[in-house]
Structure 1
Amino acid sequence: MSTTTARPLRADAVRNRALIVDAARRLFAERGLDVTLHDVAEAAGVGVGTVYRRFPDKDALLGGLLAAKYETLVDLAEQALAEPTGRQALRSYLLGAMELRASDRALSTAVLRAAPQTQEAAELRERLHRVVEEVVDRARAEGAVRRGFTGEDVPAVTSMIGSIADRSRDELPGAWRRYGLLVVDAVCPPDGPLEPLAGSPLPAPTATSCVVSPS
């Protein structure tokens, strides 16, 4: 009875996989989750068949990217825990997570809505939850966080700021920082004078943008 072992990927296959993953990460960040595998193939400079051999469908590709996004957030939360106080840890994580979401419009959608596609993603999501709760608990023990705020509120808060970033990305790409700081100050005020808000308020929607077209 013979046995078979998986052969390592050839150098060109490894290169193509890296091109595909890098292109997908960039496209999802720029355009959200409506990207197709054909879009990824074109951006990666490979044939669409090459993409399908590595990732049979978009869910498989998204699963790999989702795991990477969770891992990035876990790293951010663990770095925040190294801050000298719980207040600094929570403010550091919130602002860092908002910055990640502002630079990647797919992040919020993937983390909040897309079910984990792999065991790796599920394990990373659970790890992220534990570490973020630890960050919040440290701040709570110091009396530095608004009563009732929990780690489960964090994804919604970052999503709110992400919506502002998406709206203002083309005209005022840094506008989210103004509102991110407002939210962080409300959740976990600084230990000292409040910093001045960065930037200027977003312009109010125009009258025409509020008009609903007749059906």
Structure 2
Amino acid sequence: MYGGEERPRAAARATTGAAARVQRWWQDARGRRHALDAGDRLMAPPSDAPRLRRDAEVNRRRLLAAAREVFRDRGLRATLDDVAHHAGLGVGTAYRHFRNKDALIDALFDDMLARVEEVTREGAEDPDAWRGLATHLERVAELQALDRGLREVLLGTGRPMPGESEFRYRIGRHVDLMVERAKAQGVLRPDAEPWDLMAIQLMVAAVTDRTGRPDLWRRYLHLLLDGLRAGPEPREPLPCGDLGEPPTPPGRGFFPRTEPSPPPSPPPSPSRSPSPRDGR
């Protein structure tokens, strides 16, 4: 009797133990699955990442648009904080996109000068050499009058820009061609030089800076163009003779006559002196 009763109880204990082990295994499996799910949630990119990227790009564009307006009105002395406030963004947002004001100006540099190069190239390609020269001076002066930041870049009153020498070299080639063609067509006085066009831009820009009247430059550009144009009567020779080379010391506002050299290569690493052990 005793042995008969013990066997069912042993079987029940075994069944209970097996159930407990299955239950513990299930709980452990659920725990591992929850841990894996949590890890996947941590490793997976957040669902709003595309929206954050879009917001960052929108903010960058807002900063660039605001910078064009701020530098146009106040010149390159305006700060990155000024640009952020004008864009309606926090200063921290501005510094996340641009480490400082110089980085922001560099981002605008190509766009600013591309307009000037286009105007100059069109002037050099105009079949009517005088019209091309006069229109070039008028359009560049207009760009400068309306954009103080661009004026400071072109006239060299701001900091040097990356690629500035190459840009001035490209512009200088168009100006040389403009002057050469105008002389060949007999519409430009023979003693005029390409440097004279840059000096005229300096003079005209000074009118805007000194008077604050954005259209007054047109009067003085007209007077200067009359002085450049060849006439039927002989002209008094210009003083200072043939300019030939830029003034000394050469200002950044004038065009280089030679193609800028590539940046120098880094110096070679110093060679190690031979050691007595090298021969062993």
Using structure 2 for the length normalisation, give the TM-score.
0.58
Aligned-residue offset at 1:190: 8.7
Alpha carbons of 1:122 and 1:50: their partners in 2 closer, same or farther (altered >3 Å)? farther
Question: 1:136 and 1:42, CA in 2 relative to 1: closer, same or farther beyond 3 A?
Answer: same
Could you tell me how far 1:150 is from its partner in structure 2? 2.9
Q: State the distance in 2 between where 1:132 and 1:17 align.
A: 35
1:89, distance to aligned residue in structure 2 (A): 0.9
Q: Distance in 2 between matches of 1:84 and 1:55?
A: 44
**2: distance between equivalents of 1:100 and 1:188?**
23
The letter for the 1-side match of 2:161 is Q
Consecutive unaligned residues in structure 2, runs of 5 or more: 1-49, 233-280
Name the amino acid aligned to 1:117. Answer: M
Q: Does 1:177 align with 2:218?
A: yes
Percent of aligned positions that are identical: 37
Compute the displacement of 1:118 (Å).
Answer: 2.6
The root-mean-square deviation of aligned C-alpha atoms, in Å, is: 2.5
Residue 79 of structure 1 aligns with which residue?
A: 122
Structure 1 position 62, deviation (Å): 1.8
Q: Which runs of 4+ in 1 moved over 4 A?
A: none
The CA deviation string for residues 97-134 of structure 1, in whole angstroms up to 9 with x for no partner, is 11111111222321232454334x54333222222222
Does 2:230 align with 1:186? no
Q: Within 5 Å, which residues of 2 pair with 1:1-215? A: 10-113=53-156, 114=158, 116-119=160-163, 121-169=164-212, 172-188=213-229
Deviations 1:47-71 (A, max 9, x none): 2122222221222222233322221
Is residue 29–residue 104 contact of structure 1 (8 Å, CA) maintained in 2? yes
**Aligned 8 A contact 1:63 1:117 in 2:** yes
**Number of residue pairs matched?**
181
Q: Could you tell me how far apart the structure 2 residues matched to 1:91 and 1:110 are? A: 22
**Structure 1 residue runs without a partner (length 5+):** 1-7, 192-215
Matches of 2:107 and 2:198, distance apart in 1:
20
The TM-score normalised by the length of structure 1 is: 0.74
Q: Describe the shift of the 1:89–1:48 C-alpha distance in structure 2 as closer, same or farther (beyond 3 A).
A: same
Tell me, in whole angstroms, the C-alpha distance in 1 between the residues paired with 2:89 and 2:231: 50
Taking the aligned partners of 1:67 and 1:189, their CA distance within structure 2 comes to 36
The structure whose Rg is larger is 2
Distance change >3 Å, CA 46–CA 39, structure 1 → 2? same
The structure-2 alpha-carbon separation of the partners of 1:60 and 1:189, relative to structure 1 and needing over 3 Å to count, comes to farther
Contact 1:19 1:44 in 2 (8 A): yes
Instruction: Pick 1 or 2: higher relative contact order, CA cutoff 8 A, min separation 6.
Output: 1
